Structure 1
Amino acid sequence: MGQSSVRGDDTRERVPRERSGGATAAPAGGGTRGGGRRRGHGKPRKRRILRWTALTVSVLILGTGGAGYLYYEHLNDSIKREALNLGGKKMAGHKANAAGQTPLNILLIGSDARDTAANKKLGGGRAHFDGPALADVQMLVHLSADRTNMSVVSMPRDTMVKMPKCTAPDGTEYAASTGRMQTNLSLDRGGPGCTVAAWHELTGITIDHFMMVDFAGVVSMADAIGGVPVCVDANVYSRNSKGEGSGLKLREGTTSIKGEQALQWLRTRYGFEDGTDLGRTRAQHMYMNSMIRELRENAKLTNPNKLRKLAEAATDALTVDDRIDTVTDLLDLADEFKKIPTGRITMTTMPTIPYTYDRNRVEPTPGDAEKLFRLVRDDIPLDGKGVKAKPKPPKSKDPVAPVGEIAVIVQNGTGVGGQPTNGRSTSVTASLVAQGFTLARAGDQLTPQEKTTVTYPSVDLQGDAQAVAKSLGVPMSAVKRSTEVTGVTVVVGADWRTGTAYPKASEDDDKAPKSARLSNGADSTDCMHVQEGFTWS
């Protein structure tokens, strides 16, 4: 086979354990149905518009006849499904808001599998033909409970995380990692369900669905969607002296891309910004935002033939979780996406810092990354709109006892959705003792919960509980009275997995950290900066 025009950016990297221990197409947003105008009228009849937006896929594409039913079944049979969570852990459910609404979280996974002729041609990297697939693209899509806004959080593929226990579809069991591993290895340890489990382990976010697509799937869906405009600030050619790169070649300015060129754009690392995954995820966000605008503004999918082609491409390309039974379920998800205004779509990348043991890898930025996860868990919009100031809890009128006389029990609650972080109760207890709370002791009980809390049983201990919280940097909003405890009790939650001081950035306000590099879905002026050395004339 000759050299493909869409080779991988670089060789696939697999990382051993730490030495010391480590796109779904956004649905069209409405619009009128093309053609079918009644003579003497300037707009389609109202009933036709309602029919277009309300009927199910089987009617939209096929009509109501027997052939339509058979085709509908054909689409259902094309959908590939795998278990949502192969790690054996139960996913926590959502808590409804005051209106009884719940958010929706979908993990998008891009597989780099070179397991078919099409994927080998598109993916390049002969050394990895028929090898294990890696989750090289990971994006969490969060739809707010009231469907007024959407947040998309990307995780770079070379992020080092702890892996949960997972079981592969063939029954192979993988124990939870003792150190850290590169996040894209999760797909090889148990399929997309293991990638879901790894995300849940790190973030504490409930994940409702996943959708996975490979190289060939991206190309077929990009062709079905049609051209999507993207912008570069200089001529770009993604190839280095070793021949590594996606092969993307574009002129300065805006170009409409689709098919293989769209795949090249989504895979480009060499040539964008600093040549790292951070630039690649930003380019992916630009493509997704532009695609959503195109689908909505130009109403490309109001054409029945285009919709049929996209339906076929999607059902053939996607692997989804086993909670999605039929094409109708996919349409229902699409309807949820359509409720979100373009200007309320916010895309971001998890804040990272260089990994301690390998500077070519990254790890979540303490404080900033957890703050981003908290905002998603609490269904707080990343764009800062619609957030109301939290009332400050009243200070206790109860006099505080000398710190050496305050008995405190510290429990480890970091095991939300997976294995707890070892030693958390011990290290936090040591911090309290060092500050004079000599009666503090670590408890043996494991109490998994997402957020750190300080609880007390009666009003006469409220002041003591607030003093403990203040010494640890835990916000006063986390200090609560509870009849389930017999004394001042600290439960170290999943939001505080490292360090002896509570991460300040995770609770100082409800604005996304600046390091998250937000982009807005309505911004049509965004343009990728081309990396020095990857331009042409």
Structure 2
Amino acid sequence: MSLTPQAADATTGSGGNGGEGSGGGKKTARRRRRRVLRWSATVLAVVILGTAGAGYLYYQHLNGNIRKGKRSSADDSKARRTAPNAAGQTPLNILLIGSDSRNSDENVKLGGSRDHRGDPPLADVQMLIHLSADRENAAMVSIPRDTRVDIPKCTDPDTGKVYPATNDIINVSLARGGAGCTLATWENLTGVYIDHWMTIDFSGVVRMGNAVGGVDVCVKQNVWDRPTASVPGGSGLKMREGTHKVKGEQALQWLRTRHAWGSDLMRARAQHMYLNSMMRTLRKQNVFTDTGRLMDLAEAATKSLKVSEEIGTVKKLYDLGMQMKSVPSDRITSLTMPNVPDPQNGNHVVPDKDSAAKVWRMLQEDVPFDKNGKGKKKKKDDKPTKEPSLDPARLGVLVQNATSTTTEAPVPQRARAIGQALVAKGYPRAAADTSQTLSKKKTVVRYPSADLEGDAQAVAKALNLPMSRVKKSTDVTGVTVVVGADWRTGTSYPEDLKAGDLPEGSDAVNGSDTTKCMDVYDVYRW
């Protein structure tokens, strides 16, 4: 019979003679203790290795769940990456696409008509998630599905079929080369470089809603999104006024409801409210100490998503999630692209040119959509101005093209365009320098000596450049405009953008706002 160390001590201690008997018993006990420790260590090692093996197999299982695709289906792109900030950080842009695919029994059951089974999926929900370079703020920007845009030439990565460029509503882009074509369409419309895409279908939304455990949403009146005598269809959403926790199929109904909110634009607002609420819910849940919840979320997420191939592993998706989770709720802003009715079709919309362009520029330049940051305020451009020494008609101005960057070719004829703009503003001797093409991040006006400082400032004012961009330089012999990579289009330098200065019509919602409730169109109240 095997003895425990404690039993061995008791047996050897009762030998009577002390001396040798006692010493031998202690040695035996030590040997047995060592055997027990070795046995325990061996068992522990087996357990650790077994667990690690199971963990590795589960990790591989989750990776196997993830479907992947090519990032872009188009060869040309009008987008450029945002320059790194002072710390070398760059923003991260991810396009989230909700597909209406009915190519499975589950999706047909959740999404409606069997007549559409087998049809190419449409991108009914499209939302750009922008994480700032410093990861301190985020934005979610939706484009309504019925927005008419230019869709570039795309090649389906699975079939090799080539789709010619066209002008159509944006949700058909998914059927013309997959998510990569939708991404290319967004890039050409916005000028924003998009790093990755993710798609999710009807059944995926249900799985994710169940795994999270429900998300709080709110309506001002009782709502029932059902067919009416004049409008067929409807999501089936039915709930009483107030705040409710929705999950599974009801979560999908909330996200698909359009008629009861009055328009597709209001559906985007409801989707923003849902996602903001989900982020607040996840932030409150400590899923990393709840193995069951964590595994449910991991299974749901990996089975529900198809992603661009660069982020097609559990680790990369986890890292993305943690970056998003680190942004405080009050630094997340959701909005819908400013738009106006399409003059060609009253059922469609087009971007509101100036307002939409401002949103795209804020994304390109990584300007926060909220005013809740604690960063340093920019200094006022209070450099004193001097009187010009020459009449503008007598001043020679040289314009140089410095729009080239390490990733982009120079803008053709850029110096000529700005020179012509100066001519139109009363500087007939302005001319383009065709001898060289430079590379400079920011546009500046240089002058060689103090007597021309006032003239250089007047030129800067004519081009809408701040006085801080006027620099004395021994590299020039006269007033010289160096057009940098920050001014690749237009003939009037764009105004500085301010955090939170969003255009009207963007319908912005802050992620920390829990007071918002959807207003129900009276036909769908009960």
CA contact (8 A) 1:201 1:418 kept: no
With the length of structure 1 as denominator, give the TM-score of the two structures.
0.74
Tell me the CA shift for residue 122 of structure 1.
1.9
CA contact (8 A) 1:384 1:512 kept: no
Tell me the CA shift for residue 406 of structure 1.
5.3
Distance in 2 of aligned mates of 1:100 and 1:416 = 15
1:345 to 304, 326, 332: 332
SS at match of 2:151: coil
- In the alignment, which residue of structure 2 is the partner of 1:21? none
SS at match of 1:346: strand
Match runs of 1:348-363 below 5 Å? 348-363=335-350
1:138 to 110, 121, 126: 126
Distance in 1 of aligned mates of 2:439 and 2:209 = 41
Matched, 1:511 2:501: yes
CA contact (8 A) 2:331 2:370 kept: yes
- In the alignment, which residue of structure 2 is the partner of 1:251? 240
Match runs of 1:99-110 below 5 Å? 99-110=87-98
Residues 98, 409 of structure 1: alpha-carbon distance in 2 compared, 3 angstrom cutoff: closer
Deviations 1:1-51 (A, max 9, x none): xxxxxxxxxxxxxxxxxxxxxxxxxxxxxxxxxxxxxxxxxxxxxxxxxxx
Tell me the CA shift for residue 320 of structure 1.
0.7
- In the alignment, which residue of structure 2 is the partner of 1:96? 84
Residues 364, 67 of structure 1: alpha-carbon distance in 2 compared, 3 angstrom cutoff: same
- In the alignment, which residue of structure 2 is the partner of 1:77? 64
- In the alignment, which residue of structure 1 is the partner of 2:186? 199
CA contact (8 A) 1:415 1:494 kept: no
- In the alignment, which residue of structure 1 is the partner of 2:231? 242
Deviations 1:135-171 (A, max 9, x none): 2211111222332222212222222333334322122
Distance in 2 of aligned mates of 1:420 and 1:531 = 52
Residues 402, 121 of structure 1: alpha-carbon distance in 2 compared, 3 angstrom cutoff: farther
2:55 to 68, 73, 81: 68
Structure with greater helix percent: 2
SS at match of 2:119: coil
- In the alignment, which residue of structure 2 is the partner of 1:322? 309
Distance in 2 of aligned mates of 1:238 and 1:354 = 25
- In the alignment, which residue of structure 2 is the partner of 1:267? 256
Tell me the CA shift for residue 465 of structure 1.
6.1
- In the alignment, which residue of structure 1 is the partner of 2:481? 488
CA contact (8 A) 1:464 1:488 kept: no
Number of matched residues? 467
Matched, 1:120 2:108: yes
Distance in 1 of aligned mates of 2:396 and 2:176 = 46
CA contact (8 A) 1:163 1:186 kept: yes
CA contact (8 A) 1:455 1:465 kept: no
- In the alignment, which residue of structure 2 is the partner of 1:530? 520
Tell me the CA shift for residue 440 of structure 1.
6.2
Q: 2:172 corresponds to which letter in structure 1?
A: L
Matched, 1:336 2:323: yes
- In the alignment, which residue of structure 1 is the partner of 2:160? 171
Residues 454, 216 of structure 1: alpha-carbon distance in 2 compared, 3 angstrom cutoff: same
Tell me the CA shift for residue 350 of structure 1.
2.0
Distance in 1 of aligned mates of 2:469 and 2:274 = 40
Match runs of 1:361-440 below 5 Å? 361-385=348-372, 386-393=374-381, 394=383, 397=386, 399=388, 402-404=391-393, 434-438=424-428
Q: 2:241 corresponds to which letter in structure 1?
A: E
Distance in 2 of aligned mates of 1:255 and 1:162 = 40
Q: 1:154 corresponds to which letter in structure 2?
A: S
CA contact (8 A) 1:236 1:534 kept: yes
CA contact (8 A) 2:414 2:488 kept: no
SS at match of 2:218: strand
Moved more, 427-436 or 308-317: 427-436
Distance in 2 of aligned mates of 1:267 and 1:463 = 60
Moved more, 369-378 or 86-95: 86-95
Residues 244, 430 of structure 1: alpha-carbon distance in 2 compared, 3 angstrom cutoff: farther
Distance in 1 of aligned mates of 2:223 and 2:455 = 62
SS at match of 1:391: coil
CA contact (8 A) 1:414 1:493 kept: no
SS at match of 2:51: coil
2:204 to 213, 217, 230: 217
CA contact (8 A) 2:82 2:364 kept: no
SS at match of 2:103: coil
CA contact (8 A) 2:367 2:499 kept: no
Residues 69, 375 of structure 1: alpha-carbon distance in 2 compared, 3 angstrom cutoff: same
- In the alignment, which residue of structure 1 is the partner of 2:293? 306
Moved more, 77-86 or 356-365: 356-365
Residues 434, 270 of structure 1: alpha-carbon distance in 2 compared, 3 angstrom cutoff: same
Superposition CA RMSD, Å: 4.1
Residues 387, 200 of structure 1: alpha-carbon distance in 2 compared, 3 angstrom cutoff: farther
With the length of structure 2 as denominator, give the TM-score of the two structures.
0.75
Residues 518, 88 of structure 1: alpha-carbon distance in 2 compared, 3 angstrom cutoff: same
- In the alignment, which residue of structure 1 is the partner of 2:139? 151
Matched, 1:231 2:224: no
Deviations 1:484-529 (A, max 9, x none): 99953657978857xx76666x747762334323222222221111
Tell me the CA shift for residue 120 of structure 1.
2.3
Distance in 1 of aligned mates of 2:307 and 2:336 = 23
- In the alignment, which residue of structure 2 is the partner of 1:160? 148
* Identity, % of aligned positions: 47
SS at match of 2:56: helix
Distance in 2 of aligned mates of 1:362 and 1:532 = 24
Q: 1:257 corresponds to which letter in structure 2?
A: V
Q: 2:143 corresponds to which letter in structure 1?
A: M
